[in-house]
Amino acid sequence: MSFKAKIILIALSTALAAYAVVGGLLARRASAVAKGNPYVQLKIFNEVVKHIANDYVDEPDMNKVRIGALRGLADGLDPYCAYLSPEQASRFKPETMTATPFGMVVSKYAGFAYAVAVVPGSPAARAGVKTGDFIEYVNAVATRDVSLYEVLEMLVSVPDDGAIEVTILRPGLPKGEKRILKKTGTFQSPVESRMEAPDTGYIKVGLLTKGKAEQVIAAARQLQQRGAQKLVLDLRESAHGDLAEGVALAGAFTPGAVVARKLSAGNQTEALTAQPGSFTFDGALVVLTDRSTAGPAEVVAAAARDHKRGEIVGEKTFGAGSQQAVFPLRDGSAMLLTTVRYAPATGKSFMEEPVKPSVEVKVAAAEPALPDLDADAPPAPESTEEVKKVAPPSEDVILKRALELLKGETKQAQRPLSKGRLPKAA
């Protein structure tokens, strides 16, 4: 081994030692990912580095090894953590992690970028991207090979009137299909409301952006004026937004003071409470969820469950809700780490335990269908013929089941039906 390689080896071992110790301490404080003595992990790192330096067939590029190790440390935590190179760290923008590029809420699932929800009428929807699609490539970049932050940065950085190509994977598609996302026009995620029966109203929340809780409450008032004493609150495709909006909306439909918590390092917990007097609707309530329900919307669903306001109907939620912070490193790079996770009033965080429905309604292909990870060509489902037989239901079976419950045809709600009561608008 050359003198230069030995120097790099020492530097790499020192860097990995520091990161292993820090990572181990963070994990121990958070009672999360990397369990055990951090110094034991340090020894393993040192052994790996020595084997790479001494036994690899060629003289390794130790800088690449170091970067790969740091990326691996971040990947081992959760999808929202990342190692940022000096160039990435210098242009980092916090709003990138909370963006909804082209009307998509993007996370990661099984290593791929994943469209948790797509806003109807958005550029992504117009291009043919659907909720639940895997994003295999952004342009020519494989999403399995980069962090979620890098995926979001590529999508967010498209200029106005510009475009970017994505390759999507979906059950029923024999191979990846390309879609061109054009950054044109604006899109919104408005509150939708209507009467489903003479005494039953329906509200679809959409993304919980700023001011959305007041809009939903206003819609509930209007429905009550039209005779609604029962309400279906649809949280499907509500996968993004402001935590404060989730807390406010939960307080409007549940009587409890504590509706959620923020969990941080050192087992610290911050209770999130609804404003006194915010409970505005005490009629029969059913909440709809599926895998496109995430983040602040999970706060609403969990509060309704915990305070026994009514049934949670549909499928389990996605399991998200967190906050990140950047920790600069001495070479100009940085670590993007999750520092806060959202959780219900009791129990584990939503990332660890998504909200499960009290009344499960199975929909075809409810779970994301994983592509063939071993294929060199664009992945396709293992059995195309079988997948083609799985078609979405012709009707909204989750909503249908909710309306049956409110009618009392098959199962009584957890809470006796009572007349909805809403305060008069100021």
Query: Where do the DSSP E strands lie in 298-404?
Result: 310-314, 322-328, 334-343, 359-360
* Interval 19-37 mean pLDDT: 47
The C-alpha angle with vertex 144 and arms to 173 and 376, in degrees rounded to 5, equals 60
Distance, CA of 117 to CA of 103 (rounded, Å) = 8
In a domain, 62, yes or no: yes
Domain co-membership, 218 together with 360: yes
Q: Evaluate whether residue 300 is within a structural domain.
A: yes
End-of-domain residue from the set 17, 51, 77: 77
**What is the per-residue pLDDT for 313?**
98
Indicate the Cα dihedral angle 411, 413, 416, 418, nearest 10°: -110
Q: Classify residue 294: in a domain, yes or no.
A: yes
**Co-location of 358 and 234 in the same domain:** yes
- From CA 133, how far away is CA 115, in angstroms rounded? 5
Q: 297 Cβ partners below 8 Å, 6+ apart?
A: 205, 208, 235, 238, 239, 241, 246, 289, 317
Residues 295, 209: Cα–Cα separation, whole Å: 12
- Contacts for 137 with CB less than 8 Å, ≥ 6 apart: 143, 165, 166, 167, 176
Token pair belonging to 159: 């200029």
In-domain check, residue 375:
no
Distance (Å, whole) CA 224 – CA 219: 9
413 lies in a domain?
Answer: no
CA proximity to 335, closest of 100, 144, 92 = 92
My answer on whether 199 and 345 are in the same domain is: yes
- Integer-rounded Cα Rg, in Å, for the chain is 24
Q: What is the pTM of this model?
A: 0.81
pLDDT digit string, tens, across residues 313-353: 999 999 999 999 999 999 999 999 999 999 999 999 999 99
Task: Write out pLDDT tens, residues 119-173.
Answer: 999 999 999 999 999 999 999 999 999 999 999 999 999 999 999 999 999 988 8
If one counts the domains in the chain, the total is 2
Which residues span the domain enclosing 265? 192-325+338-364+395-407
pLDDT greater at residue 10 or residue 249: 249
From CA 80, how far away is CA 97, in angstroms rounded? 8
- Closest among 147, 91, 89, 70 to 332, alpha carbons compared: 89
Structural domain includes residue 142: no
Residue 303 lies in a domain: yes
95 or 48, which is more confident? 95
**For position 261, what pLDDT does the model report?**
97
Residue 5 has pLDDT above 80, yes or no: no
- Neighbouring residues of 270: CB distance < 8 A, sequence distance ≥ 6: 261, 262, 264
**Per-residue pLDDT averaged across 172-197, rounded?**
91
Q: How far apart are CA 275 and CA 255, in angstroms?
A: 10
Domain boundary among 31, 49, 77: 77
Q: What is the pLDDT at residue 186?
A: 81
DSSP state of 369: P
What pLDDT, on the 0 to 100 scale, is given for residue 379?
Answer: 41
pLDDT at residue 65 greater than cutoff 70? yes
With a cut of 60, say whether residue 88 has pLDDT above it. yes
Say whether pLDDT at 13 is over 80. no
User: Which of these three, 16, 46, 77, is where a domain ends?
Assistant: 77
Position 31 scores a pLDDT of 42
Query: Does 63 share its domain with 205?
Result: no
- Rounded Cα–Cα distance for residues 383 and 201 (Å): 42
Give φ, ψ of 340 to 5 degrees: -140, 140
Per-residue pLDDT tens digits for 188-243: 899 999 999 999 999 999 999 999 999 999 999 999 999 999 999 999 999 999 99
Is residue 30 within 8 A of residue 265, CB to CB? The reply is yes
Residue 167 belongs to some domain of the structure = no
Strand partners, 238: none
